[in-house]
Protein backbone atom coordinates (compact mmCIF):
# COMPACT_ATOMS: atom_id res chain seq x y z
CA UNK A 1 0.00 0.00 0.00
CA UNK A 2 1.43 3.36 -1.03
CA UNK A 3 1.43 5.75 1.87
CA UNK A 4 0.02 9.23 1.29
CA UNK A 5 2.54 12.02 1.07
CA UNK A 6 2.03 15.48 2.46
CA UNK A 7 3.84 18.78 2.90
CA UNK A 8 3.10 21.44 5.49
CA UNK A 9 3.23 25.24 5.24
CA UNK A 10 3.28 25.35 1.46
CA UNK A 11 1.43 28.65 1.10
CA UNK A 12 3.08 31.89 2.06
CA UNK A 13 0.21 34.12 3.01
CA UNK A 14 -2.08 31.68 4.77
CA UNK A 15 -1.63 31.15 8.50
CA UNK A 16 -1.32 27.45 7.91
CA UNK A 17 -1.45 25.24 4.87
CA UNK A 18 -0.86 21.68 3.71
CA UNK A 19 -0.66 19.86 0.44
CA UNK A 20 -1.74 16.22 0.45
CA UNK A 21 -1.29 13.61 -2.24
CA UNK A 22 -3.91 10.88 -2.05
CA UNK A 23 -2.48 7.69 -3.58
CA UNK A 24 -5.74 5.87 -4.38
CA UNK A 25 -7.55 8.60 -6.30
CA UNK A 26 -4.44 10.40 -7.46
CA UNK A 27 -5.85 13.75 -6.47
CA UNK A 28 -3.80 16.40 -4.81
CA UNK A 29 -5.52 18.45 -2.14
CA UNK A 30 -4.34 21.87 -1.13
CA UNK A 31 -5.65 23.11 2.19
CA UNK A 32 -5.28 26.48 3.86
CA UNK A 33 -6.35 27.63 7.28
CA UNK A 34 -6.76 31.18 8.46
CA UNK A 35 -7.35 31.52 12.15
CA UNK A 36 -8.34 33.38 14.20
CA UNK A 37 -9.99 35.83 11.80
CA UNK A 38 -12.63 38.42 12.39
CA UNK A 39 -16.04 37.41 11.11
CA UNK A 40 -18.10 39.82 9.08
CA UNK A 41 -21.40 40.78 10.64
CA UNK A 42 -22.82 38.96 13.61
CA UNK A 43 -22.57 35.42 12.36
CA UNK A 44 -20.97 34.43 15.65
CA UNK A 45 -23.92 35.48 17.79
CA UNK A 46 -25.24 31.95 18.30
CA UNK A 47 -22.21 30.65 20.17
CA UNK A 48 -20.45 33.68 21.62
CA UNK A 49 -18.02 31.62 23.71
CA UNK A 50 -16.83 29.43 20.85
CA UNK A 51 -15.00 29.81 17.56
CA UNK A 52 -16.96 29.57 14.35
CA UNK A 53 -15.61 27.00 11.93
CA UNK A 54 -16.10 27.45 8.22
CA UNK A 55 -15.08 24.84 5.67
CA UNK A 56 -15.00 25.40 1.93
CA UNK A 57 -14.38 22.55 -0.51
CA UNK A 58 -13.48 23.67 -4.01
CA UNK A 59 -13.42 21.11 -6.81
CA UNK A 60 -10.72 21.70 -9.37
CA UNK A 61 -12.82 22.21 -12.44
CA UNK A 62 -16.42 22.93 -11.49
CA UNK A 63 -18.13 25.35 -9.15
CA UNK A 64 -19.00 23.88 -5.77
CA UNK A 65 -22.42 22.28 -5.64
CA UNK A 66 -24.61 20.11 -3.47
CA UNK A 67 -22.00 17.39 -2.97
CA UNK A 68 -19.46 19.89 -1.72
CA UNK A 69 -21.98 21.46 0.66
CA UNK A 70 -22.70 18.01 2.07
CA UNK A 71 -19.06 17.12 2.64
CA UNK A 72 -18.39 20.56 4.09
CA UNK A 73 -21.05 19.81 6.67
CA UNK A 74 -19.39 16.51 7.63
CA UNK A 75 -15.97 18.14 7.91
CA UNK A 76 -17.32 21.03 9.94
CA UNK A 77 -19.00 18.77 12.48
CA UNK A 78 -15.93 16.59 12.93
CA UNK A 79 -13.43 19.46 13.11
CA UNK A 80 -15.70 21.31 15.51
CA UNK A 81 -15.26 18.47 17.96
CA UNK A 82 -11.50 18.53 17.69
CA UNK A 83 -10.77 22.28 17.60
CA UNK A 84 -10.61 23.95 21.00
CA UNK A 85 -12.61 27.04 20.11
CA UNK A 86 -12.56 28.45 23.63
CA UNK A 87 -8.82 28.95 23.88
CA UNK A 88 -7.43 32.45 24.16
CA UNK A 89 -8.12 34.58 21.11
CA UNK A 90 -10.58 32.20 19.49
CA UNK A 91 -14.07 32.90 20.90
CA UNK A 92 -16.21 34.89 18.44
CA UNK A 93 -13.51 34.55 15.80
CA UNK A 94 -13.55 32.34 12.77
CA UNK A 95 -11.45 29.37 11.73
CA UNK A 96 -11.65 29.33 7.95
CA UNK A 97 -10.55 26.13 6.22
CA UNK A 98 -10.34 26.05 2.44
CA UNK A 99 -9.67 22.77 0.65
CA UNK A 100 -9.02 22.79 -3.08
CA UNK A 101 -9.05 19.51 -4.99
CA UNK A 102 -6.39 19.61 -7.68
CA UNK A 103 -6.21 16.94 -10.37
CA UNK A 104 -7.14 13.29 -9.99
CA UNK A 105 -10.43 11.70 -10.91
CA UNK A 106 -12.93 14.44 -10.42
CA UNK A 107 -16.07 13.66 -8.51
CA UNK A 108 -19.08 14.08 -10.77
CA UNK A 109 -21.91 16.38 -9.93
CA UNK A 110 -24.07 14.82 -7.25
CA UNK A 111 -21.71 11.88 -6.67
CA UNK A 112 -20.81 11.16 -3.08
CA UNK A 113 -17.53 12.42 -1.80
CA UNK A 114 -16.85 9.41 0.39
CA UNK A 115 -13.72 8.20 -1.41
CA UNK A 116 -12.13 11.65 -1.11
CA UNK A 117 -13.31 12.29 2.44
CA UNK A 118 -10.26 10.82 4.27
CA UNK A 119 -7.91 12.89 2.10
CA UNK A 120 -9.92 16.03 2.81
CA UNK A 121 -9.91 15.26 6.53
CA UNK A 122 -6.17 14.66 6.62
CA UNK A 123 -5.45 17.85 4.66
CA UNK A 124 -7.63 19.87 7.02
CA UNK A 125 -5.90 18.37 10.04
CA UNK A 126 -2.40 19.05 8.73
CA UNK A 127 -3.31 22.61 7.77
CA UNK A 128 -4.77 23.20 11.23
CA UNK A 129 -1.59 21.87 12.82
CA UNK A 130 0.47 24.12 10.58
CA UNK A 131 -1.61 27.14 11.66
CA UNK A 132 -1.15 26.16 15.34
CA UNK A 133 -4.87 26.12 15.96
CA UNK A 134 -5.40 24.51 19.38
CA UNK A 135 -6.74 20.98 19.01
CA UNK A 136 -7.74 18.50 21.66
CA UNK A 137 -6.38 15.55 19.69
CA UNK A 138 -5.42 14.46 16.20
CA UNK A 139 -7.21 11.89 14.10
CA UNK A 140 -6.81 9.69 11.07
CA UNK A 141 -9.41 8.45 8.62
CA UNK A 142 -9.78 5.79 5.96
CA UNK A 143 -12.31 4.63 3.40
CA UNK A 144 -13.23 0.98 2.85
CA UNK A 145 -15.45 -0.64 0.25
CA UNK A 146 -17.21 -4.00 0.66
CA UNK A 147 -17.83 -5.88 -2.58
CA UNK A 148 -20.51 -8.50 -3.30
CA UNK A 149 -18.43 -11.40 -1.97
CA UNK A 150 -17.91 -9.60 1.31
CA UNK A 151 -14.29 -8.73 0.58
CA UNK A 152 -13.12 -5.53 2.23
CA UNK A 153 -11.18 -3.30 -0.13
CA UNK A 154 -9.01 -0.53 1.23
CA UNK A 155 -9.14 2.94 -0.35
CA UNK A 156 -11.12 1.99 -3.45
CA UNK A 157 -10.87 3.83 -6.73
CA UNK A 158 -13.97 5.53 -8.14
CA UNK A 159 -14.89 2.46 -10.26
CA UNK A 160 -14.47 0.07 -7.35
CA UNK A 161 -16.62 2.29 -5.17
CA UNK A 162 -19.31 2.43 -7.84
CA UNK A 163 -19.58 -1.36 -8.05
CA UNK A 164 -19.22 -2.01 -4.32
CA UNK A 165 -22.07 -3.11 -2.09
CA UNK A 166 -21.25 -0.52 0.52
CA UNK A 167 -18.65 2.16 1.15
CA UNK A 168 -17.62 3.24 4.63
CA UNK A 169 -15.55 6.16 5.88
CA UNK A 170 -14.31 5.91 9.44
CA UNK A 171 -12.18 8.34 11.41
CA UNK A 172 -10.45 7.54 14.68
CA UNK A 173 -8.98 10.01 17.11
CA UNK A 174 -5.42 9.62 18.34
CA UNK A 175 -6.89 8.25 21.56
CA UNK A 176 -8.79 5.55 19.69
CA UNK A 177 -12.32 7.00 19.72
CA UNK A 178 -14.48 6.56 16.67
CA UNK A 179 -15.00 10.13 15.48
CA UNK A 180 -16.81 9.69 12.20
CA UNK A 181 -18.79 6.97 10.51
CA UNK A 182 -20.25 7.66 7.10
CA UNK A 183 -21.64 4.64 5.28
CA UNK A 184 -23.37 4.22 1.98
CA UNK A 185 -25.06 1.16 0.44
CA UNK A 186 -26.59 -1.89 2.07
CA UNK A 187 -24.76 -3.86 4.73
CA UNK A 188 -25.48 -5.66 7.97
CA UNK A 189 -23.99 -5.06 11.38
CA UNK A 190 -21.45 -7.90 11.18
CA UNK A 191 -20.03 -6.42 7.99
CA UNK A 192 -19.80 -3.03 9.59
CA UNK A 193 -18.04 -4.45 12.62
CA UNK A 194 -15.44 -6.13 10.40
CA UNK A 195 -15.01 -2.85 8.53
CA UNK A 196 -14.51 -1.00 11.79
CA UNK A 197 -11.83 -3.43 12.96
CA UNK A 198 -10.01 -3.23 9.67
CA UNK A 199 -10.23 0.58 9.65
CA UNK A 200 -8.90 0.75 13.19
CA UNK A 201 -5.95 -1.42 12.18
CA UNK A 202 -5.24 0.81 9.18
CA UNK A 203 -5.35 4.00 11.25
CA UNK A 204 -3.62 2.82 14.40
CA UNK A 205 -2.00 -0.48 13.59
CA UNK A 206 -1.91 -2.96 16.42
CA UNK A 207 -0.58 -0.84 19.20
CA UNK A 208 1.81 -2.28 21.69
CA UNK A 209 2.21 0.02 24.64
CA UNK A 210 5.36 -0.82 26.51
CA UNK A 211 5.96 -0.15 30.18
CA UNK A 212 7.62 3.23 29.68
CA UNK A 213 4.64 4.59 27.73
CA UNK A 214 6.23 4.36 24.30
CA UNK A 215 3.81 3.33 21.62
CA UNK A 216 5.32 0.86 19.22
CA UNK A 217 3.78 1.08 15.77
CA UNK A 218 3.47 -2.49 14.64
CA UNK A 219 3.35 -3.11 10.91
CA UNK A 220 0.96 -5.60 9.39
CA UNK A 221 -0.75 -6.27 6.06
CA UNK A 222 -1.86 -2.66 5.86
CA UNK A 223 1.68 -1.34 6.06
CA UNK A 224 2.44 1.58 8.30
CA UNK A 225 -0.50 2.88 10.31
CA UNK A 226 -1.83 6.13 8.90
CA UNK A 227 -1.43 7.87 12.22
CA UNK A 228 2.31 7.24 12.14
CA UNK A 229 2.60 8.67 8.63
CA UNK A 230 0.77 11.84 9.61
CA UNK A 231 2.84 12.21 12.76
CA UNK A 232 6.05 11.84 10.81
CA UNK A 233 4.99 14.53 8.35
CA UNK A 234 4.38 16.99 11.16
CA UNK A 235 7.59 16.06 12.96
CA UNK A 236 9.61 16.60 9.79
CA UNK A 237 8.18 20.10 9.46
CA UNK A 238 8.84 20.91 13.12
CA UNK A 239 12.45 19.74 12.77
CA UNK A 240 12.85 21.91 9.67
CA UNK A 241 11.37 24.96 11.40
CA UNK A 242 13.45 24.57 14.54
CA UNK A 243 16.66 23.47 12.89
CA UNK A 244 18.45 26.45 14.44
CA UNK A 245 17.41 25.45 17.92
CA UNK A 246 18.15 21.76 17.58
CA UNK A 247 21.58 22.37 16.05
CA UNK A 248 22.50 24.82 18.79
CA UNK A 249 21.58 22.41 21.55
CA UNK B 1 19.79 19.40 26.50
CA UNK B 2 18.44 16.01 25.54
CA UNK B 3 16.93 15.47 22.14
CA UNK B 4 13.94 17.77 21.62
CA UNK B 5 10.52 16.33 22.19
CA UNK B 6 8.09 16.89 19.34
CA UNK B 7 4.47 16.81 20.45
CA UNK B 8 1.18 16.66 18.62
CA UNK B 9 -2.17 17.78 20.00
CA UNK B 10 -3.43 15.30 22.56
CA UNK B 11 0.01 13.96 23.46
CA UNK B 12 0.84 13.72 27.12
CA UNK B 13 4.06 15.24 28.34
CA UNK B 14 6.31 12.69 30.03
CA UNK B 15 7.33 13.81 33.50
CA UNK B 16 11.05 13.48 32.83
CA UNK B 17 10.87 16.40 30.38
CA UNK B 18 9.39 18.82 32.92
CA UNK B 19 11.67 21.11 34.94
CA UNK B 20 12.79 19.23 38.01
CA UNK B 21 12.90 22.17 40.41
CA UNK B 22 9.71 21.96 42.40
CA UNK B 23 10.11 25.01 44.64
CA UNK B 24 7.83 27.21 42.54
CA UNK B 25 4.63 26.08 40.89
CA UNK B 26 5.00 25.00 37.28
CA UNK B 27 3.97 27.70 34.81
CA UNK B 28 2.17 26.56 31.69
CA UNK B 29 2.84 28.52 28.52
CA UNK B 30 1.24 28.50 25.10
CA UNK B 31 0.09 25.23 23.62
CA UNK B 32 -0.35 23.27 26.83
CA UNK B 33 -3.26 22.49 29.07
CA UNK B 34 -3.83 20.66 32.30
CA UNK B 35 -6.41 17.92 32.27
CA UNK B 36 -7.65 15.98 35.23
CA UNK B 37 -8.02 12.26 34.83
CA UNK B 38 -10.04 10.91 37.70
CA UNK B 39 -9.96 7.30 36.50
CA UNK B 40 -6.33 7.07 35.61
CA UNK B 41 -4.97 3.85 37.10
CA UNK B 42 -1.22 4.43 36.84
CA UNK B 43 0.71 7.00 38.81
CA UNK B 44 3.59 7.39 36.38
CA UNK B 45 2.87 11.11 35.94
CA UNK B 46 4.94 14.09 36.91
CA UNK B 47 5.71 14.69 40.53
CA UNK B 48 4.93 18.42 40.50
CA UNK B 49 1.18 17.90 40.09
CA UNK B 50 -0.99 15.30 41.66
CA UNK B 51 -1.14 12.01 39.78
CA UNK B 52 -4.71 12.56 38.72
CA UNK B 53 -3.62 15.46 36.52
CA UNK B 54 -1.92 15.22 33.17
CA UNK B 55 -0.37 17.83 30.89
CA UNK B 56 -1.32 17.56 27.24
CA UNK B 57 -0.32 19.53 24.19
CA UNK B 58 -2.86 21.45 22.12
CA UNK B 59 -0.50 22.46 19.32
CA UNK B 60 2.14 20.67 17.33
CA UNK B 61 5.68 21.73 18.11
CA UNK B 62 8.77 21.36 20.24
CA UNK B 63 8.51 21.28 24.00
CA UNK B 64 10.48 24.15 25.49
CA UNK B 65 11.31 24.23 29.18
CA UNK B 66 12.76 27.04 31.24
CA UNK B 67 14.34 25.74 34.41
CA UNK B 68 14.94 29.19 35.86
CA UNK B 69 11.31 30.29 35.73
CA UNK B 70 10.01 26.73 36.10
CA UNK B 71 8.00 27.27 32.95
CA UNK B 72 7.08 24.96 30.12
CA UNK B 73 5.53 25.79 26.75
CA UNK B 74 5.32 24.59 23.17
CA UNK B 75 7.11 26.28 20.31
CA UNK B 76 4.71 25.85 17.43
CA UNK B 77 4.82 26.77 13.78
CA UNK B 78 6.78 30.01 13.21
CA UNK B 79 4.44 31.15 10.46
CA UNK B 80 1.32 31.22 12.58
CA UNK B 81 -0.88 34.25 13.08
CA UNK B 82 -0.02 36.65 15.86
CA UNK B 83 -2.37 36.54 18.85
CA UNK B 84 -1.86 39.55 21.14
CA UNK B 85 -0.51 38.74 24.60
CA UNK B 86 0.03 41.20 27.43
CA UNK B 87 3.53 42.75 27.58
CA UNK B 88 4.41 41.94 23.98
CA UNK B 89 6.14 44.71 22.07
CA UNK B 90 4.39 45.35 18.76
CA UNK B 91 4.63 47.74 15.84
CA UNK B 92 1.16 49.15 15.25
CA UNK B 93 -0.15 51.38 12.51
CA UNK B 94 -2.61 54.17 13.27
CA UNK B 95 -5.89 53.63 11.46
CA UNK B 96 -7.89 56.54 12.75
CA UNK B 97 -8.10 58.72 15.80
CA UNK B 98 -10.95 59.50 18.13
CA UNK B 99 -11.11 62.04 21.00
CA UNK B 100 -9.62 59.67 23.57
CA UNK B 101 -7.90 56.96 21.57
CA UNK B 102 -5.87 56.17 18.53
CA UNK B 103 -7.28 53.08 16.81
CA UNK B 104 -4.38 50.99 15.56
CA UNK B 105 -3.89 47.91 13.44
CA UNK B 106 -1.62 45.21 14.85
CA UNK B 107 -2.47 42.56 12.28
CA UNK B 108 -4.80 42.84 9.33
CA UNK B 109 -8.15 41.07 9.76
CA UNK B 110 -8.11 41.67 13.50
CA UNK B 111 -10.16 44.32 15.25
CA UNK B 112 -8.39 47.58 15.93
CA UNK B 113 -6.42 47.90 19.12
CA UNK B 114 -6.81 51.09 21.12
CA UNK B 115 -3.94 53.31 22.18
CA UNK B 116 -4.77 56.14 24.57
CA UNK B 117 -4.05 59.63 23.26
CA UNK B 118 -2.19 60.34 26.48
CA UNK B 119 -0.33 57.06 26.90
CA UNK B 120 2.95 58.47 25.62
CA UNK B 121 5.92 59.59 27.63
CA UNK B 122 5.37 63.13 28.91
CA UNK B 123 2.04 63.55 27.12
CA UNK B 124 -0.51 65.95 28.56
CA UNK B 125 -3.76 67.25 27.15
CA UNK B 126 -1.89 70.15 25.57
CA UNK B 127 1.26 68.40 24.42
CA UNK B 128 0.44 65.06 22.94
CA UNK B 129 1.68 63.47 19.74
CA UNK B 130 -0.49 64.27 16.76
CA UNK B 131 -0.44 61.01 14.87
CA UNK B 132 -2.02 60.76 11.47
CA UNK B 133 -3.48 57.79 9.66
CA UNK B 134 -0.69 55.46 8.58
CA UNK B 135 1.82 56.56 11.22
CA UNK B 136 3.66 53.86 13.10
CA UNK B 137 4.08 53.40 16.83
CA UNK B 138 6.19 51.00 18.82
CA UNK B 139 3.95 49.99 21.71
CA UNK B 140 3.51 47.47 24.46
CA UNK B 141 0.35 45.40 24.77
CA UNK B 142 -1.14 46.63 28.04
CA UNK B 143 -4.07 44.25 28.25
CA UNK B 144 -5.94 41.92 25.96
CA UNK B 145 -9.15 41.96 27.98
CA UNK B 146 -11.13 39.04 29.26
CA UNK B 147 -13.62 36.93 27.41
CA UNK B 148 -14.93 37.11 23.90
CA UNK B 149 -14.84 40.30 21.88
CA UNK B 150 -12.61 42.22 24.29
CA UNK B 151 -10.49 45.10 23.04
CA UNK B 152 -6.73 44.98 22.96
CA UNK B 153 -5.17 48.00 24.66
CA UNK B 154 -1.74 49.34 23.81
CA UNK B 155 0.47 51.80 25.60
CA UNK B 156 3.73 53.57 24.80
CA UNK B 157 4.44 54.32 28.43
CA UNK B 158 4.65 52.39 31.66
CA UNK B 159 1.57 53.60 33.59
CA UNK B 160 3.33 53.15 36.92
CA UNK B 161 6.41 55.25 36.22
CA UNK B 162 5.29 57.48 33.37
CA UNK B 163 8.43 56.63 31.40
CA UNK B 164 8.68 54.91 28.05
CA UNK B 165 9.84 51.56 29.38
CA UNK B 166 11.50 49.60 27.90
CA UNK B 167 13.26 52.31 25.90
CA UNK B 168 12.24 53.25 22.42
CA UNK B 169 8.49 53.08 22.80
CA UNK B 170 6.58 55.76 20.98
CA UNK B 171 6.07 57.02 17.45
CA UNK B 172 8.42 55.63 14.81
CA UNK B 173 9.46 58.36 12.41
CA UNK B 174 11.00 57.68 9.03
CA UNK B 175 12.40 54.28 8.24
CA UNK B 176 10.58 51.39 6.68
CA UNK B 177 8.63 48.34 7.88
CA UNK B 178 9.22 44.81 6.63
CA UNK B 179 7.00 41.81 7.23
CA UNK B 180 8.57 38.71 8.77
CA UNK B 181 7.10 35.60 10.34
CA UNK B 182 6.10 35.71 13.99
CA UNK B 183 8.66 33.04 14.85
CA UNK B 184 11.43 35.05 13.22
CA UNK B 185 10.32 38.15 15.13
CA UNK B 186 10.61 36.28 18.42
CA UNK B 187 14.09 35.04 17.47
CA UNK B 188 15.25 38.51 16.43
CA UNK B 189 13.96 39.87 19.71
CA UNK B 190 16.04 37.37 21.67
CA UNK B 191 19.08 37.96 19.46
CA UNK B 192 18.94 41.76 19.72
CA UNK B 193 18.17 41.96 23.43
CA UNK B 194 21.08 39.77 24.44
CA UNK B 195 24.29 41.43 25.49
CA UNK B 196 27.50 41.18 23.53
CA UNK B 197 29.42 38.93 25.91
CA UNK B 198 27.15 35.99 25.23
CA UNK B 199 28.19 33.34 22.78
CA UNK B 200 27.87 34.29 19.14
CA UNK B 201 24.58 33.72 17.41
CA UNK B 202 21.79 33.79 19.97
CA UNK B 203 18.79 31.88 18.62
CA UNK B 204 20.86 30.95 15.58
CA UNK B 205 20.97 34.50 14.27
CA UNK B 206 24.18 36.37 13.52
CA UNK B 207 22.65 38.68 10.93
CA UNK B 208 22.20 41.69 13.21
CA UNK B 209 25.76 41.53 14.55
CA UNK B 210 27.07 41.09 11.05
CA UNK B 211 25.03 43.99 9.64
CA UNK B 212 26.01 46.15 12.60
CA UNK B 213 29.70 45.52 11.95
CA UNK B 214 29.47 46.09 8.22
CA UNK B 215 27.25 49.17 8.32
CA UNK B 216 29.14 50.86 11.16
CA UNK B 217 31.15 52.97 8.76
CA UNK B 218 27.99 54.04 6.90
CA UNK B 219 26.44 55.35 10.13
CA UNK B 220 24.74 52.34 11.65
CA UNK B 221 21.04 51.70 11.82
CA UNK B 222 18.10 51.63 14.17
CA UNK B 223 15.81 48.64 14.37
CA UNK B 224 12.54 47.91 16.19
CA UNK B 225 11.04 44.45 16.21
CA UNK B 226 7.35 43.85 16.78
CA UNK B 227 6.14 40.48 17.94
CA UNK B 228 3.31 40.82 15.42
CA UNK B 229 5.76 39.97 12.65
CA UNK B 230 6.94 43.46 11.72
CA UNK B 231 10.40 44.91 11.77
CA UNK B 232 11.11 48.61 11.41
CA UNK B 233 14.47 49.72 10.09
CA UNK B 234 15.84 53.23 9.93
CA UNK B 235 19.22 54.34 8.61
CA UNK B 236 18.68 58.09 8.50
CA UNK B 237 22.20 58.69 9.89
CA UNK B 238 23.73 57.03 6.89
CA UNK B 239 23.40 60.01 4.55
CA UNK B 240 23.61 59.04 0.89
CA UNK B 241 23.29 55.31 1.37
CA UNK B 242 20.37 55.53 3.82
CA UNK B 243 17.79 54.12 1.45
CA UNK B 244 20.12 51.46 0.11
CA UNK B 245 21.12 50.33 3.59
CA UNK B 246 17.48 50.13 4.71
CA UNK B 247 16.60 47.99 1.73
CA UNK B 248 19.66 45.81 2.31
CA UNK B 249 18.72 45.13 5.94
CA UNK B 250 15.13 44.36 5.03
CA UNK B 251 16.21 42.08 2.24
CA UNK B 252 18.59 40.17 4.52
CA UNK B 253 15.97 39.65 7.21
CA UNK B 254 13.18 38.53 4.88
CA UNK B 255 15.47 36.18 2.95
CA UNK B 256 16.76 34.56 6.13
CA UNK B 257 13.18 34.16 7.33
CA UNK B 258 12.05 32.61 4.08
CA UNK B 259 14.89 30.15 3.66
CA UNK B 260 15.82 29.39 7.30
CA UNK B 261 19.49 30.10 6.71
CA UNK B 262 22.13 28.91 9.15
CA UNK B 263 24.71 31.34 10.64
CA UNK B 264 27.36 30.70 7.95
CA UNK B 265 24.85 31.31 5.17
CA UNK B 266 23.57 34.41 6.94
CA UNK B 267 27.06 35.93 6.84
CA UNK B 268 27.39 35.07 3.16
CA UNK B 269 23.98 36.58 2.44
CA UNK B 270 24.86 39.85 4.19
CA UNK B 271 28.05 40.21 2.14
CA UNK B 272 26.21 39.34 -1.07
CA UNK B 273 23.33 41.75 -0.51
CA UNK B 274 25.66 44.61 0.43
CA UNK B 275 27.77 43.91 -2.65
CA UNK B 276 24.72 43.80 -4.91
CA UNK B 277 23.47 47.12 -3.60
CA UNK B 278 27.00 48.59 -3.92
CA UNK B 279 27.28 49.65 -0.30
CA UNK B 280 30.85 50.33 0.83
CA UNK B 281 31.77 48.32 3.91
pLDDT bin (cut points 50, 70, 90) of residue B43 is very low
B205 Cβ under 8 Å from any chain A Cβ: yes
Which has more pLDDT, A230 or B4? A230
Q: Determine whether the interchain pair A129/B79 forms a contact, defined as Cβ–Cβ distance below 8 Å.
A: no
Which has more pLDDT, A132 or B237? A132
Please provide residue A50's backbone torsions phi and psi, each rounded to the nearest 5 degrees.
-125, 160
A135: nearest CB among B1, B58, B148 = B58
Q: Determine whether the interchain pair B61/A49 forms a contact, defined as Cβ–Cβ distance below 8 Å.
A: no
Residues A72-99: what's their mean pLDDT?
Answer: 91
B26-40, B101-115, B132-146, B165-179, range with the lowest pLDDT = B26-40
- Alpha-carbon dihedral sign for residues A16, A21, A27, A28: positive
Residues B83-100: what's their mean pLDDT?
Answer: 92
Write out chain B residues lying below 8 Å of A34, CB-based.
81, 109
Write out chain A residues lying below 8 Å of B148, CB-based.
48-49, 91-92
How far is it, in rounded angstroms, from Cα A108 to Cα B271? 55
Give pLDDT tens digits for A119-177. Answer: 999 999 999 999 999 999 999 999 999 999 989 998 888 888 888 999 999 999 988 88
B227 Cβ under 8 Å from any chain A Cβ: no
Does residue A104 surpass a pLDDT of 80? no
B81: nearest CB among A15, A49, A245 = A15
Report pLDDT for B273: 92
How many CA atoms does the CB half-sphere of B32 hold within 13 Å?
24
Report pLDDT for B111: 84
Report pLDDT for A45: 65
Q: Which helix (H) or strand (E) holds A67?
A: helix A66-82
% of chain B beyond a pLDDT of 70: 89
Write out chain B residues lying below 8 Å of A37, CB-based.
109-110
Looking at this predicted complex, what is its ipTM?
A: 0.85
Which has more pLDDT, A212 or A121? A121
Does residue A214 surpass a pLDDT of 60? no
Give pLDDT tens digits for A18-73. Answer: 999 988 788 899 999 998 888 776 665 677 788 899 999 998 777 888 888 999 99
Report pLDDT for A47: 77
Report pLDDT for B44: 47
Report pLDDT for B39: 58
Report pLDDT for B71: 87
Write out chain A residues lying below 8 Å of B183, CB-based.
241
pLDDT bin (cut points 50, 70, 90) of residue B196 is low
Does residue A217 surpass a pLDDT of 80? no
How far is it, in rounded angstroms, from Cα B171 to Cα B149? 27
CA distance B46 to chain A (A): 13
Write out chain B residues lying below 8 Å of A234, CB-based.
6, 8, 60
Report pLDDT for A175: 87
% of chain A beyond a pLDDT of 90: 48
pLDDT bin (cut points 50, 70, 90) of residue B184 is very high
A134: nearest CB among B59, B75, B144 = B59
B229 Cβ under 8 Å from any chain A Cβ: no
Does residue A216 surpass a pLDDT of 80? no
Q: Determine whether the interchain pair B9/A137 forms a contact, defined as Cβ–Cβ distance below 8 Å.
A: yes
B145 Cβ under 8 Å from any chain A Cβ: no
The 3-class SS string of chain B reads CCCCCEECCCCECCHHHCCCCCCCCCEECCCEEEEECCCCCCCCCCCCCCCCEEEEECCCEEEEEECCCCEEEEEECCCCCCCCCCCCEEEEEEEEECCCEEEEECCCCCCCEEEECCCCCCCCCCCCCCCCCCCEEEEEEEECCCCCCCCCEEECCCCCCCCCCCCCCEEECCCEEEECCHHHHHHHHHHHHCCCCCCCCHHHCCHHHHHHHHCCCCCCCEEEEECCCEEEEECHHHHHHHHHHHHHHHHHHHHHHHHCCCHHHHHHHHHHHHHHCCCCC
pLDDT bin (cut points 50, 70, 90) of residue B45 is very low
Give pLDDT tens digits for B114-142. Answer: 999 998 988 888 888 889 999 999 999 99
In a mutational test of the A interface, the residue from B1, B9, B29, B45 whose CB has the highest number of chain A CBs within 10 Å is B9
Q: Determine whether the interchain pair B77/A133 forms a contact, defined as Cβ–Cβ distance below 8 Å.
A: no
B203: nearest CB among A135, A213, A244 = A244
- Mean model confidence pLDDT for chain A: 85
How far is it, in rounded angstroms, from Cα A222 to Cα B279? 60
Report pLDDT for B49: 44
pLDDT bin (cut points 50, 70, 90) of residue A220 is low
B150 Cβ under 8 Å from any chain A Cβ: no
Report pLDDT for B162: 76
B262 Cβ under 8 Å from any chain A Cβ: yes
Report pLDDT for A96: 94
Amino acid sequence: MVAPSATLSVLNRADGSASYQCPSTGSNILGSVNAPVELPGRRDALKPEDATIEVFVKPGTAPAGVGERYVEGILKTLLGRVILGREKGYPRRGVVITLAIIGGESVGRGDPYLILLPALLHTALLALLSASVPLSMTFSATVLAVDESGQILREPSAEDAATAQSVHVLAFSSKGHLLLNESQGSFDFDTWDKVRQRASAICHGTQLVSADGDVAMAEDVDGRPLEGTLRETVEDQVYRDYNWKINAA
Amino acid sequence: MSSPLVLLPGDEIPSEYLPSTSSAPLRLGAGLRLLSQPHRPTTSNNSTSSPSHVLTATQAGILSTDNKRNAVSILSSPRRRYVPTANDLVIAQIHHSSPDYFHCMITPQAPHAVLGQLSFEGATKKTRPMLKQGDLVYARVLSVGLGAGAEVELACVNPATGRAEPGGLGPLNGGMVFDISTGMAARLMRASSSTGEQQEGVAGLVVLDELGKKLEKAGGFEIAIGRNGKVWVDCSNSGDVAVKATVAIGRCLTTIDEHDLNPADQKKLVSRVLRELKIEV
